[in-house]
Amino acid sequence: MPFVELDTSLLASRVPPGLEKRLCAATAAILNKPEDRVNVTVRSGLAMVVNGSAEPSAQLLVSSIGVVGTAKENHGHSARFFEFLTKELDLAKDRIIIRFFPLECWQIGKKGTVMTFL
């Protein structure tokens, strides 16, 4: 059950319409998870500084169970997320940061319980 949060300083008018749906589909493909299990949030117009600069930027937070826990996994994921984000947001790679957080089943609540028991 991946959770993807995209924060950007781009104004909402500069964020392509439907980005959240395309990011959902891309995340499912990149992490090899069903699209109906992917959760996406896009926040725009934020005051942000990346690499010491307030020029337009984005930060992507990717959290999931079982697929973002190693450097080797995230090396591949990073390349594919960067390809998607640079194209969609028209930002250079040095204006984008990605953070990966592995999750455990007991850290996600759903249907009144946690994923461990589903």
Q: What is the pLDDT of residues 30-52, one digit of tens each?
A: 999 999 999 999 999 999 999 99
CATH superfamily of 3-117: Macrophage Migration Inhibitory Factor (3.30.429.10)
CA–chain centroid gap for 48, Å, is: 17
Among 21, 22, 23, which residue's Cα sits nearest to residue 4?
Answer: 23
Q: Does the global pTM surpass 0.75?
A: yes
Mean pLDDT of the chain: 97
- Structure tokens of 46? 């934020």
Mean local confidence (pLDDT), 98-107: 96
